[in-house]
Amino acid sequence: MGSSDKVKRSEDESVKEEVDKGDQPADINFLTLEKVSERSGLPVGRTGAYLDKLEKSGICLSKTIEGEKHFPLESPELVSRLDAIHSKGLSLKEAIETIREGDELDSKKLEEMEQRIEKLSRSIDSLSALLSSHVARYHSTPEKKGFFCYHIKQAFKSIGRKKE
């Protein structure tokens, strides 16, 4: 075994050790309490208390990875929302209910927005077809003489072409 093989193996082993010892949880879709606290901008103690309340209410479910609790990626946002609502004078129970109701309202609003998007898409398709028929009809009319008519027709021809 040459010295380059020994160096290669030792580099591979040190990289593996660094990966094994890394701060990253085994599941990248979850955060430690410290990371949630850091991302929410709140002290670890308050973050932990809020996460316990959110977990007991079923809004935010933790996962134990290597003996340590980890929380979903949306946890910092939930903790921040809970803190903001609680700081306005509502009890934690009321603040959690507000978040729960807000999430239900958000899903209703999202459904309404999806319906509006679908309706607008159909309107765009309809207008596009109408414009295409007008452009086709314009291109089929006999060309009139004159400088102005020529340039108007050239402008409309470019509208009807699709860019590739």
Mean of the pLDDT values across residues 156-163? 66
Write down the pLDDT at residue 154. 74
Mean of the pLDDT values across residues 13-22? 40
Q: Tell me the C-alpha to C-alpha distance, in Å, between residue 107 and each of 24, 55, 56, 75, 134.
A: 32, 20, 22, 18, 41
- Percent of the chain past pLDDT 70, that is, above it, reads 72
Q: Does the global pTM surpass 0.75?
A: no
Inform me whether the pLDDT recorded for 8 exceeds 60: no
What is the band of 14 on the pLDDT scale with cuts at 50, 70, 90?
very low
Per-residue pLDDT of 120-129, as tens digits, reads: 999 999 998 8
Average pLDDT, the chain: 78
- List strands edge to edge, sheet with 68-72: 30-32, 68-72, 63-65
Per-residue pLDDT of 62-121, as tens digits, reads: 999 889 999 999 999 999 999 999 999 989 888 988 888 876 666 777 788 889 999 999
Q: How far apart are CA 55 and CA 163, in angstroms?
A: 53
The DSSP code for 24 is S
